[in-house]
Amino acid sequence: MSADEEKAKKQREAGEREAARLWRAWRTVHEMVQDRGYELTDEEVKISFDNFKYNYASDGEEDIIDRKKMKFSARPSDAMMVRYSNPPTAADPNPASPDIGTIWVEFLPDSSVGIKQMRAFAQYLTSHNFHTGILVTNVNITPAALKIIPAVASETRIECFVEQDLLVNITHHELVPQHVLLSKEERTALLQRYRLKDTQLPRIQLGDPVARYFGLRRGQVVKIIRKSETAGRYASYRLCV
Amino acid sequence: MATAKQPKSILKKASYPATTSSKEDRDREVALYHANLIQQRKDIELNIFFSTETLIDYPLAKSPYDASNPSPTDAKEFKQFLRPFQPTDYDELIHERNTNEKCGYTLCPNARVKDGSGGKYRILGTNGKAKDFRVVEKEELEKWCSEACAKRALYVRVQLSESPAWERDAAGSTVNIDLLDEPKSAEGAIAEGLEKLNLEGGKAVKQQDAADLALERGDTGLAAKNGLVDVNIQEKEVQRPAQAPSLDDLSGRVDTMHLTLEGHTPEFGSRRQRRHTEDLENEEDPDTDWRM
């Protein structure tokens, strides 16, 4: 085999590996968006490797995936709207509409992500009226760029993930119990049932990997269902802080 | 003992200011006070972030200006923006500029150098003296366009205050930053001079004067401006007419005045001897001082 052929083969293999990585991240992001309750078809979520390569290969070379093409949006399902809705109370008979909306997911090809890229992403989200945006990057985002997120929090919600963290879907691991987000009504019912203040619940951090996966917000309560040897199933509740 | 006396407390008597407000009011005041502090801090942090964002695109002026001779307006704004920065914020700015492929020094229009070859470290100063020899991380070298710019940038960095802007006192927040290479073109100097002339009667100067005056009077920074404790400085009223010091009442001490240290005149010999004799007298009836 000549040196050129060998080099080409190596390049192809590297491209293949990169494509496999991206495919796994792509599937995890789709599962994440679906698990949160957005509308996605099963074909979209369970895309095969060949289909993925066919759809997202860059125009010139077939081996290389073009990250610029990897973007999609999803609308919240009716069930999700119900889960996020504010129940009417005596003081407030006409509560505000649920704080949820279309989500936009984008993979960023840049080899470094600074304020410029984040600002562009935030502007894209606000101009297209996306409620939430998920930015998947190849590299770590600079600390200064992360300060944009609270600055634009009133207009749009930005979440950032690194490709490497999305290679595996952590919620499918056998040691990660099932997490279910409670609606506000269920939350008040729970607190009344056990006569608790919400601060008396056990807590889960906002930056917890599972909390990030489900996009939890401060004050929300998740029900965690574990297998128990003695009781079969054991449910506990955690407040997101 | 029958005459058991209540021991006198050596602690200071607590003298709370007479408060007519109820507990809730006071609690609310305390909560508001701390909330305000946090809000101030957040405002400053946001301000620093916006400054960083603006400074990424500097310098605004094109050639003939460069890093060794920045445009006066750019230099002035750079200094202005940099006031609330801490060294860590400045590092972030350098990092941000580098991600945009610019030299880390804000007033330099060049791109940063990219060393294509691999390896994590670089060896410097191999043909100089032994003390110049250094092993440096490649990343550190790639931050700048040249060594001169690295020097300029770090010259600014060491002038920044380590304490965060919301904890600085008034003196810290008005600190002036010098550049290693101040703008020096004749044209620029004239322009700057003109600007100064315009400002002479302007608002900015008045504000600066007011700030300086406040500083002189002892007003401190943001944090202490609305503190929990009211500090009122009361002038002591002078009752009698001032008298010029005269030599008359000094006449008794004139010969020892050269020994006086801050009003105290040390004495040698006489007093010590007196004490010594006292001690001798006391020794005649020893160990009686335990008696009440």
Q: What is the 3-state secondary structure (H, E, C) of B52-108?
A: HHHHHCCCCCCCCCECCECCHHHHHHHHHHHCCCCHHHHHHHHHHHHHCCCCCCCCC
Q: Which residues pair with B69 in a beta bridge?
A: B66
Do A69 and A138 fall within a single domain? yes
**pLDDT > 90? residue B214:** no
CB burial class (10 A; 0-12, 13-18, 19+) of residue A65? buried
Do A36 and A151 fall within a single domain? yes
Averaged confidence pLDDT in chain A: 90
Higher pLDDT, B198 or A43: A43
Do A188 and A131 fall within a single domain? no
Report the CATH superfamily, name and number, of domain B31-184: Rtr1/RPAP2 domain (1.25.40.820)
> Which single residue is written with the structure tokens 């979209």?
A44
* B249-280 pLDDT, tens digit each: 666 667 777 888 887 877 766 666 767 776 76
**pLDDT > 70? residue B198:** no
Under an 8 A CB cutoff, do B96 and A115 touch?
yes
**pLDDT > 70? residue B288:** no
Do A150 and A184 fall within a single domain? no
User: Residues 91 to 110 of B: which have CB under 8 A from any A CB?
Assistant: 92-93, 95-96, 99-100
Of A34-48, A62-76, B246-260, the poorest mean pLDDT is in B246-260
C-alpha to C-alpha distance for B195 and B199, rounded to whole angstroms: 6
Task: Output the pLDDT for position B223.
Answer: 46
* B8-35 pLDDT, tens digit each: 777 766 555 555 568 899 899 999 999 9
CATH of the domain at A175: 3.90.940.20
Contacts of B41 in chain A (CB under 8 A): none
Domain final position from A168, A190, A220: A168
Confidence category of residue A217, pLDDT binned at 50, 70, 90: very high
Do A121 and A215 fall within a single domain? no
* A164-200 pLDDT, tens digit each: 999 999 999 999 999 999 999 999 999 999 999 989 9
Under an 8 A CB cutoff, do B99 and A119 touch?
no
* B65-75 pLDDT, tens digit each: 877 888 888 88
> Which single residue is written with the structure tokens 């300060």?
A147
Task: Output the pLDDT for position B225.
Answer: 55
Do A196 and A132 fall within a single domain? no
Of A27-31, A66-70, A89-93, A104-108, the poorest mean pLDDT is in A89-93
Greatest pairwise CA separation for chain A in angstroms:
80
Do A139 and A202 fall within a single domain? no
Task: Output the pLDDT for position B188.
Answer: 52
**pLDDT > 90? residue A30:** yes
Range(s) of the domain holding residue A185: 171-240
Under an 8 A CB cutoff, do B49 and A112 touch?
no
CATH of the domain at A149: 3.40.1340.10
**Which residue is closest to A118 within chain B, CA to CA?**
B53
C-alpha to C-alpha distance for A234 and B117, rounded to whole angstroms: 57
Do A55 and A85 fall within a single domain? yes
Do A193 and A153 fall within a single domain? no
Do A119 and A138 fall within a single domain? yes
Under an 8 A CB cutoff, do B92 and A119 touch?
no
| pTM more than 0.80 | no
C-alpha to C-alpha distance for B159 and B179, rounded to whole angstroms: 10
CB burial class (10 A; 0-12, 13-18, 19+) of residue A162? middle
Length of chain A: 241
Do A184 and A236 fall within a single domain? yes
User: Two tokens at A34?
Assistant: 């679906």
Q: How many CB pairs under 8 A join A and B?
A: 34
**pLDDT > 90? residue A99:** no
Under an 8 A CB cutoff, do A142 and B95 touch?
yes
Q: Mean per-residue pLDDT for B86-99?
A: 91
Q: Which residue in B140, B152, B141 sits closest to B66, CA to CA?
A: B152
Domain final position from A126, A151, A168: A168
User: Two tokens at A32?
Assistant: 């994440």
Residue A192 CB partners (closer than 8 Å, separation 6+): none
CA of A114 vs chain B CAs: smallest distance (Å) = 6
Higher pLDDT, B225 or B62: B62
Q: Nearest CB to A115: which of B45, B46, B56?
A: B56
Of A216-225, B84-93, B188-197, the poorest mean pLDDT is in B188-197
Domain final position from A152, A168, A184: A168
The pairing of strands A178-181 and A221-228 is: antiparallel
Confidence category of residue A223, pLDDT binned at 50, 70, 90: very high
Domain count, chain A: 2
Q: Mean per-residue pLDDT for B188-207?
A: 58
